[in-house]
Structure 1
Amino acid sequence: MNHRTASSSSASRTGQPRKGPSEYGYFSDGKWLTAEAGTFEDFDPWTEEVFAVAARCGRAETAAAITAADRAFPAWSRTTPAEKAGILRRAAAIVERRSEELAETMARETGTTLLNGRFQLGLVIQLIEQAAGWAYLPAGEVLPSDFPDTTQTVVRRPLGVVASFTPWNGAQILAWRAILSPLVAGNTVVVKPTELAPVSAGIQVAEILHEAGLPAGVVNVVTHGPGEAGPIADEFFENPAVRCVNFIGSVPTGRMLAERAGAALKRSVMELGGYNPLIVLDDADLDYAVRVAAFSAFFHQGQICLNARTILVHRDLYDVFVERLVAKAGALRAGSPLEEETFIGPLITPEALSRVDERVRDAVAKGARLLTGGTHDGPVYAPTVLADVPDDAAVSVEETFGPVVVVRSVESADEAVDLANRLEYGLTSAIISGDTHRAVRLSERIRAGSVRINLPTIDDEIQAPIGGVRDSGWGRSGPHSLHDFTDQIAVTVQSGERRLPSF
């Protein structure tokens, strides 16, 4: 089939004409193919119209993609760093050339604003450019030996085929992260993007890498319809060629996948969700703290695993802080993700909106105070601030993927740390303080994979090891991630003969 075909134009929710949905195949062994089961529809969260039609893959297509990846592995694992780097530099140039198109695709497919889409793509370009240099990093070492004429070395070797699950909520940056780390380490990859963003979270990455000259079979993409991930996952876990499962997503799904990986003795890398605290100490600059808190809580409609879920404010600042945060939340521009000034766009699905609304209503029914928000206009949920939330409310203990944040007054920094650590999540956190040294000392007690001081909870730098602890998973992004996708192999060389005991 053709890689993409477009249907006729139709009217959008705003009444403006736009192109109809494009149809996409799946990508296997360097070719765009048609799935045996046909296609499924991919919806625009803002207009609720069909944005694209994608291949409805199953176990047979997945098995074929794994075979292609396994066949491509020996040659790719021996590819020189210079060759890998050249492909990636070309890919970065293609992303830059297509950046506006890619940002618009994310807006239409996932509801992310153009602001967030462009922010993501800037990170993607940085990531690919830096990853080109990582091709030289899986280095070995020479160890001392207690035996004469013996050289003890340790080298790193790629695992084989890696199965990467990619999410919708940071569709481009997270897809590239899930693919590049195993790829640069010398593995081949089969990508299963979420059914909510098959284009942004998989198909477009394959397009770009294919154009950049990546050999056939090195990266493959299998898409699937709603509720149809099971057969693909079954093939990943039961096919012996797959040596690692690389997942970015929710804690419940990650727990299930990690259990299956353990039973199959496959390595797993898990970047999971978090209930991320932001602490405002009594010496913080109030205006800055409010801006950082609003960005941390409401960027991408609260649909990022790194969003702040609770804000812990010293009692001396609490009343004024809350008043200003409520005003800031109410002033955020909401609407179409394709409008330049929009900060709050739609939630990903009607079901997601209902789930957020149910969590807010549950909290209020149990005694929480709704300070602002708690309503929606079509698919857009208003930025919501809750206070006095009881511990038995779901929004107080579970990651709620929407523009909802819980504020709490604390008596001291010690109480803030206790509240920050009360749950088993541990992805990211932030501390806002006028005394940087004090904040650094306090950060030593926060149980999270990242602690941001005088910064939002969302603050990725490509070279930094981003990832969680405790129930927020394991594994890291950046150059540190290469260890997750390679094995350490000991190679010992004896010059001459060694005297063996009793021989």
Structure 2
Amino acid sequence: MAELLAGESWHGKIFDGRWKDPGAGAIKVTEPATGAVLGEVGNASASDVDAAARIAAAAQPGWAARTGEERAQVLRRAALTLQANRAEVERWLIREGGSVPGKAAFEVQLVLSELWEAAALPTQPSGLLLPSSQDGRTSIARRVPLGVVGVISPWNFPFLLAMRAVAPALALGNSVVLKPDVHTAISGGVVIAQLLREAGLPEGVLHVLAGEAEPGQALTENPDIAMISFTGSTSVGRLVGAAAGRTLKRVSLELGGNNALIVLDDADLDAASSAGAWGSFLHQGQVCMTAGRHIVLENVADEYLDRLTRRAAVLPVGDPNTADVALGPLINAQQLAHVDRIVQGTVTEGAEIRTGGTHQGLFYRPTVLAGVTTAMPAFREEIFGPVAPVTVVRDEAEAIAVANDSEYGLVAAIQTGSVDRGTRVADQLRTGMVHINDQTLNNDAYAPFGGVGASGNHARFGTQTSWDEFTQWQWRTSRPTAQAFPF
């Protein structure tokens, strides 16, 4: 069986149903673990985006007119093609994004779930029969596609965080222009284009254009784009929201997080420290759901710190393509500098490094910080690296107050010996998601995913909430015959 990305057709190209030359040359895609060049993708210009939006707008009505079953079949075939080529896709995630093999396999499995769940959307009921205030009139409300959806996706879970918008948007009759991040434009863009082309998606319905700020800005400003679905940093999300607002687009913003893992004094500390390590160090901490603040009651804090430190100290770090490691490289030197600045700045203000705090190249050791107060950088900022800052509090009430002391509101987790107690705490947390006796990194294709505050604008990913995100209501009435009015 031929590999999904075999051949040279996609190298240095952008996609509109076929691979073609871009307007701004090509971008080299490098392996963060080694610096090796893995390939080239097309560098889209603003004019490329404008052309893609026109083509997508022209193609969308025909795609929406397909039966729900026809649209569902395309997504089912894409899922089957991915299943047959999953080892190849996992290898790209490992080499291009620095994923360890387990994370890559997990990401592919999540994308399969997204495709299967999205395939169920087109055959669900899409409207309501309404009561009518007038005799003889039929009144309905129906869901209709938005038109062209622009998707701007990040580099950390590139395949998943693009597909969770692309698949339901297509399923519900929209066309899509996808701008993947340049660091992972193959696994977050080329793979998606190849899967859906193999699955029989009509030309012009999906466009994939990698690039830096220029194509992203063009997407947000283009009048043919009805919606922007953006996943990325809060700072960039604010710019996207402002730009999209000028053309009155719908905007879905899934942004950063500085998530609290609360450890109560009745918790199983072995399980809690395991959840804490997983929550802070999975994919080098480069996840919006990472446990960025460990908030621990004082009478169990010393033991929790000891257990967490022992776990972190033995985690192997290295090239995930060639070695059996728990952590791979950070994505680039800029991210490394950001992580190290926060760690060193927090130590300068009085925190203690229990383990880690060092790096070799882009490989940053898993780091545990003790004595972190609410004023320190590691508490206030989103680190996006393998760092577990531990803040000690007196009691449950202070734990809740400290957890809520953040502009972010994505997810929280609570470790406790009592689900009732955990539920009481969860009810008082200002986050879009809460997990009791679990860690912060959870994702189901059918669950509403999203945050509040600086973590997002209350948009939600998930198959049921996809109807809210990617369609709009239309009210339609009809009478069997026309009637006269007083004028």
User: TM-score, length-normalised on structure 2?
Assistant: 0.95
For 1:95 and 1:370, locate their aligned partners in 2 and report how far apart those are by CA, in whole Å: 43
Which of 5, 17, 27 is 1:40 aligned to?
27
Gaps in structure 1 of 5+ consecutive residues: 7-21
Mapped partners of 1:364, 1:329: distance in 2: 18
Partner of 1:210: 197
Instruction: Please tell me whether residue 181 in structure 1 is matched to residue 182 in structure 2.
Output: no
Q: How does 1:87-486 map to 2 (within 5 A)?
A: 87-137=74-124, 139-224=126-211, 228-230=212-214, 232-339=215-322, 341-473=324-456, 474-479=458-463, 480-486=465-471
Q: How far 1:303 sits from its partner (Å)?
A: 0.1
Q: CA deviation at 1:66?
A: 1.2
| 1:237 Cα offset (Å) | 3.1
Partner-residue secondary structure (3-state), 1:191: strand
Q: What whole-Å deviation, never above 9, does each CA across 1:305-357 have from its counterpart, x for those lacking one?
A: 01100011111211101000000001112111124631110000011111111
Task: Give the Cα–Cα distance (whole angstroms) in 2 for the partners of residues 48 and 399 of structure 1.
Answer: 26
Kept after mapping to 1: 8 A contact 2:75/2:167? no
> Take 2:367 and 2:11, find their aligned partners in 1: how far apart are those partners?
37
Whether the aligned pair in 2 keeps the contact of 1:138 and 1:185 (CA below 8 Å) is: no
The verdict on how the C-alpha distance between 1:138 and 1:388 changes in structure 2, with shifts beyond 3 A counting, is farther
Residue identity over aligned pairs, in percent, reads 38
Which residue type is aligned with residue 395 of structure 2? Answer: S
For 1:267-315, what per-residue CA distance to the aligned partner results, in whole angstroms no more than 9, with x for missing partners? Answer: 1011111110011111111111111111011100000001100011111
Decide whether the 8 Å contact of 1:366 with 1:390 is kept in 2. no
| SS of the residue 2:123 aligns to | coil
Aligned-residue offset at 1:488: 0.7
Per the TM alignment, residue 104 of structure 1 is displaced from its structure 2 partner at its CA by 0.8
Paired with 1:134 and 1:440, the residues of 2 have a C-alpha distance of 32
- The alignment partner of 2:445 has SS state of coil
Q: Matches of 2:190 and 2:125 in 1, distance apart?
A: 28
Structure 2 CA distance for aligned equivalents of residues 131 and 368 of structure 1:
46
Q: Give the number of aligned pairs.
A: 480
Checking the alignment, whether the CA contact within 8 Å between 1:363 and 1:390 is kept in structure 2 is no
- Is the contact between residue 53 and residue 177 of structure 2 (CA under 8 Å) also seen in structure 1? yes
Q: Does 1:78 align with 2:65?
A: yes
**Per-residue deviation, residues 399-430 of structure 1 (Å, max 9, x unmatched):** 11100121111222111111111112111110
User: Which secondary structure state, in structure 1, belongs to the residue aligned with residue 461 of structure 2?
Assistant: coil
Confirm or deny that 1:493 pairs with 2:478: yes
- Whole-Å separation in 2 of the counterparts to 1:395 and 1:297: 13
> Is residue 13 of structure 2 the alignment partner of residue 25 of structure 1?
yes
For 2:470, the aligned partner's letter is: F
Alpha carbons of 1:61 and 1:492: their partners in 2 closer, same or farther (altered >3 Å)? Answer: same
Aligned-partner SS, 1:333: coil
- Which segments of 5 or more consecutive residues in structure 2 lack a partner in the other structure? none
Query: Shift of residue 495 of structure 1?
Result: 5.2
Name the CA distance, whole Å, in 1 between partners of 2:210 and 2:281.
Answer: 30
2:15–2:207 contact (8 Å) kept in structure 1? yes
For 1:79 and 1:340, how far apart are their aligned partners in 2?
Answer: 47
- Code of the residue aligned with 1:261 in structure 2: it is A
Q: 1:496 to 1:253 in 2, by over 3 A?
A: same
1:148-202, Cα deviation, whole Å (9 max, x unpaired): 3333211111011111001110011111112112111111000001111110111
SS at structure 2 position matched to 1:434: coil
Residue 499 of structure 1, CA deviation: 8.3
Alpha-carbon RMSD? 1.7
Q: Aligned partners of 1:270 and 1:372: how far apart in 2? A: 35
Do 2:305 and 2:370's aligned partners in 1 also have CA atoms closer than 8 Å? no
Distance 1:491 1:385 in 2: 59
Question: SS in structure 1 opposite 2:151?
Answer: strand
Classify the secondary structure of the residue corresponding to 2:184.
coil
Are the counterparts in 2 of residues 166 and 202 from structure 1 also a CA contact under 8 Å? no
Kept in 1, the 8 Å contact 2:221–2:246? The answer is: no
Question: Residue type matched to 1:493 in 2?
Answer: S
Distance 1:378 1:38 in 2: 29
Measure the CA separation in 2 of the matches of 1:24 and 1:240: 27
Q: What SS does structure 1 have at the residue aligned with 2:220?
A: helix
d(CA) in 2 for partners of 1:360 and 1:255?
26
Amino acid at match of 1:400: I
Q: Is the 8 A contact 1:73 1:187 kept in 2?
A: yes
Secondary structure at the counterpart of residue 337 of structure 1: coil
